[in-house]
Each structure stands twice: as C-alpha cells, then as structure tokens.
C-alpha cells in the first residue's frame, strides 16, 4: 500500500482527529455501490462508526456507559474474575501454560459467550467471528477480496447475536447484554439494534486489543520484577500501571486513515483519499510528549497515550479492554508465584498492525490464593 507515514505524537493526533478511518471510507464506498450482500453489515457499522447525528451518538454513548458504573461494573468485574480463575484452575497443576492460548484468547471469548448464553460447543464459532471482525476492517482497503470472504462470517455473527438477544434467558441473565438492555435515561433506553451494535463494538471490536494487551501486560511484568512487586504491595496502582503498559507496549501499532480532502501536513500536500499510516507505537514513545519514553513508569503522570487510536469502535470497547487487562494481571499475581518465561527470544507476528506474540510460554509455582494489598 502506498501511503504517507506519521510518527510524532502531535502529527498522529492531527491525523486521528481530522482524517477518515480507513474502514469507514471503505464502508462508504460499499454503501454507495449498493452491494446488497453487505446491507446488514454496512447499516450496522455505519450507524456505529459514522454517528452523523451527534445528539443520537451522544445518547447511545451515555446509555452504553452505564454498563461501567456502580453495581453493573462490579458484576462485570466479578464475572470476568470468575472466568479468569476457571482458566487458571485448568492449568494450575501442570506448572506451565501458554498465556495466549490458555488465557488471553479464551477470557474475552468466554465472556462474550456467557453474555449470549452460548453453549461451550459454540465458543469456537464466537472466537472465529471475533477474530474476523478485526481482520475484515483491516482488509477492506488493502485486501478487498479477502474482506468480502470475511464479511460473510461477520453476517453470520450478527444473525447469531440477534437471535440470542431475542431469547428470554439472555435478556434476563445478569450480563453485558442485560446491562445494555436495562440502561435508561429519562425513561428511554437503547433499541435492540443499538444493543447489537454496542455489544459487537465492546466484544468483537475489542477482542484483538484485549488478547494482545493481556499477553503484553504479562510479558511486561515478567521482565520487570520490581514493578511486579510494587503492584503486589499496592494494588491501587493497577489502573495507572495498565495505562503505562498500554503506552509502553501498545497492542495496536498503527492506524490507517484516509485524507477527506487535499490537506497539508508538515509542509507536505496529501491528496484527497490518499492513505496515511499513523504509527501509534512511535507516538507513544515520542520524547517531545513523554519524558523518558523508554522507561516503564507506573506512576507516570498525564499519560494521554494513543493506544486505542480514538477509533469509534475502539472508544466504546476501550473500558472493557482495560478491565480485562486489569483482571488478568490481578489474577496472575493472586494465583502464581515465581513466574518465568520458558524461553527467549520470543516470536512476534510479522507484518501486523498489532504488537502480537505468537505464543507466551511460562512456568510458575501455584501460590495460596492471596488478596492483593
């Protein structure tokens, strides 16, 4: 792909604010072409990504935000903690695990499945569909042939979710969907279509970020034992520690944007509809914005990192991704002692927009379950 590349914090922020998301631009082209096979997908995603009606967009976001307040947030954390403990129970006696295959991948998958009251036999389908979401958005511009193929899988997921939401057991069970359905402002709530959009954005939209954040966070603590001990001694720093890990080991390394018109950036003319790659990982290590950017500092102040790239679907899922990362670290610290990498160098996926490990094999000693200070 021929594209401009920006790496400084200031330039990346400009591109994220002023340029079109690559996936949105392609969705607009699809809709303009009246591609019947993609009507459901384009309608749902354009409603989520374009939010042309600002008042409606604000209403939906305020309702969805209620999921992360008060009793609903406590219930969500409890559910994730229970899933995390079950995953650790399954490997505890062996003394070794692959953090990605045994924990980072199944945690968000099972969370999504339980919200839909899906049987374990459907976990594989949900995993495949969630992975498809990210691949499809990334492929729309660079590999459109593959995008059409992936699109069919995504349509299947939307039908599955729509059917699940229509069942009384899913609507009444305390879960993410129940929270979305029960959220109200002045007696008005989300429509069923809006619930589907928000659920997809929070789960499938954040799936890849959650998997890579969990893996990168565990790796970071393995390599920085002193900081691991600081979290053990004071769990109140866990939220700020998670933000620093997001900056230091940004799961998403770049975001593609499209120039909406002819624009000038740093004296260079960027033509309308030309691609720009905003390198998030570089911006998050920009010394002009972050003092001592190559140091991991769990007490870093004013940490306005760009790990979530400000994309529309990322904004709504960012809080859930953060919570899954926090629960993962908390669980590893509660359940294990003497964590060690099995071998290095580690292998990273090549040519990916994500900082993504292939595997993360570790050994451990199971400790008596402890409460963090």
The secondary structure of 214-264 as a DSSP string is: HHHHHHHHHH-HHHHHHHHH-GGGHHHHHHHHHHHT-SB-EEEEE-SS-EE
Domains parsed from the chain with CATH numbers: 4-366 (1.10.630.10)
State yes or no: pLDDT of 46 exceeds 60.
no
Alpha-carbon distance of 277 to 5, in angstroms, equals 5
Which residues face 96 on adjacent strands?
363
How does the average pLDDT of the chain come out, rounded?
Answer: 85
Instruction: Give yes or no for a contact between 238 and 329, defined as CB atoms under 8 angstroms apart.
Output: yes
Q: What's the rounded mean pLDDT across residues 285-307?
A: 95
What is the model's pLDDT at position 341?
94
State yes or no: pLDDT of 235 exceeds 90.
no
In order, the DSSP letters of 326-341 are HHHHHHHHHHEEEEEE
CA distances from 184 to 54, 191, 271, 329 (A): 18, 11, 44, 33
What is the model's pLDDT at position 36?
46
Alpha-carbon distance of 275 to 354, in angstroms, equals 18
Question: 94-149: per-residue pLDDT in tens?
Answer: 999 999 999 999 999 999 999 999 999 999 999 988 887 777 666 555 555 566 66
β-strand pairing of 20-21 with 254-258 = antiparallel
Question: 3-43: per-residue pLDDT in tens?
Answer: 899 999 999 999 998 887 765 655 565 555 554 445 555 56
> What sign does the dihedral 254-260-266-271 (CA atoms) show?
positive
Nearest C-alpha neighbor of 137 from the set 12, 14, 255, 305: 255
Alpha-carbon distance of 355 to 285, in angstroms, equals 14
Q: Which residue has the higher pLDDT, 124 or 45?
A: 124
Portion of the chain with pLDDT greater than 70, in percent:
83
State yes or no: pLDDT of 52 exceeds 50.
no
Which residues face 354 on adjacent strands?
252
What is the model's pLDDT at position 40?
59
> What sign does the dihedral 345-350-355-358 (CA atoms) show?
negative
State yes or no: pLDDT of 326 exceeds 90.
yes
């Amino acid at each position: 792909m021929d594209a401009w590349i920006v790496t400084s914090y200031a330039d990346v922020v400009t591109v994220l604010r002023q340029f079109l998301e690559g996936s949105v631009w392609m969705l607009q082209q699809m809709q303009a072409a009246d591609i019947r096979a993609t009507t459901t997908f384009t309608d749902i995603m354009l409603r989520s990504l374009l939010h042309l009606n600002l008042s409606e967009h604000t209403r939906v976001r305020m309702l969805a935000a209620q999921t992360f307040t008060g009793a609903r947030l406590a219930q969500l954390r409890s559910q994730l903690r229970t899933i995390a403990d079950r995953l650790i129970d399954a490997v505890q006696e062996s003394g070794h695990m692959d953090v990605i295959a045994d924990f980072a991948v199944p945690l968000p998958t099972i969370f999504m499945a339980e919200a839909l009251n899906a049987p374990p036999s459907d976990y594989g389908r949900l995993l495949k569909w969630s992975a498809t979401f990210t691949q499809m958005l990334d492929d729309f511009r660079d590999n459109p042939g593959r995008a059409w193929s992936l699109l069919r899988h995504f349509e299947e997921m939307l039908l599955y979710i729509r059917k699940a939401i229509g069942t009384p057991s899913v609507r009444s069970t305390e879960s993410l969907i129940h929270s979305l359905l029960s959220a109200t402002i002045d007696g008005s709530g989300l429509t069923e279509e809006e619930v589907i959009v928000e659920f997809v954005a929070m789960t499938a939209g954040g799936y890849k970020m959650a998997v890579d954040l969990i893996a990168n966070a565990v790796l970071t603590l393995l390599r920085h034992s002193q900081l691991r001990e600081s979290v053990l001694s004071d769990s109140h720093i866990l939220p700020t520690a998670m933000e620093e890990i997001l900056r230091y080991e940004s799961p998403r390394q770049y975001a593609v944007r499209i120039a909406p018109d002819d624009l000038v950036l740093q004296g260079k003319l960027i033509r309308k509809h030309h691609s720009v790659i905003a390198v998030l990982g570089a911006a998050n290590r920009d010394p002009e914005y972050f003092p001592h950017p190559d140091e991991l500092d769990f007490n870093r102040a004013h940490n306005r990192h760009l790990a979530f790239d400000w994309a529309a679907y990322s904004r709504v899922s960012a809080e859930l991704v953060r919570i899954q990362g926090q629960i993962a670290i908390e669980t590893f610290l509660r359940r294990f002692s003497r964590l060690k990498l099995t071998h290095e160098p580690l292998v990273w996926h090549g040519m990916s927009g994500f900082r993504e490990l292939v595997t993360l094999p570790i050994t451990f000693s199971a400790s008596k379950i402890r409460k963090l200070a």
